[in-house]
């Protein structure tokens, strides 16, 4: 039985080295550590502070996330 990923949206607060980011979630102002998914890394998608992003989070660890999409 596989667990479904939780999809949330947020805003990039801080850009860290190694394609890591501090992201503030929209729903409850919770802050998570996020990294870029492989497809975004392959296509050289650049993220800066203030960008809105869509992320996937595991139900087991709600402090980490994977950025899957950059919103406009």
Class for the domain spanning 6-71: mainly beta
pLDDT single digits (tens) 8-27: 999 999 999 999 999 999 98
Percent of the chain with pLDDT over 90: 90
Residue 1: predicted pLDDT: 52
Please say if the pLDDT value at position 48 is more than 70.
yes
For the chain, the average pLDDT equals 93
Structural domain boundaries of the chain?
Answer: 6-71
DSSP string, the chain: -PPPPEEEEEEEEEEETTTEEEEEETTT--EEEEEE-HHHHHTT----TT-EEEEEE-SS-TTEEEEEEEE-
């Amino acid at each position: 039985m596989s667990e479904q990923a939780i999809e949330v949206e947020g805003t990039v607060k801080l850009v860290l080295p190694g394609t890591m980011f501090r992201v503030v979630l929209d729903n409850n102002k919770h802050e998570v550590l996020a990294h870029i998914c492989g497809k975004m890394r392959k296509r050289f998608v650049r993220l800066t502070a203030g960008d809105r992003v869509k992320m996937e989070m595991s139900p087991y660890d709600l402090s980490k996330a994977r950025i899957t999409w950059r919103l406009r």
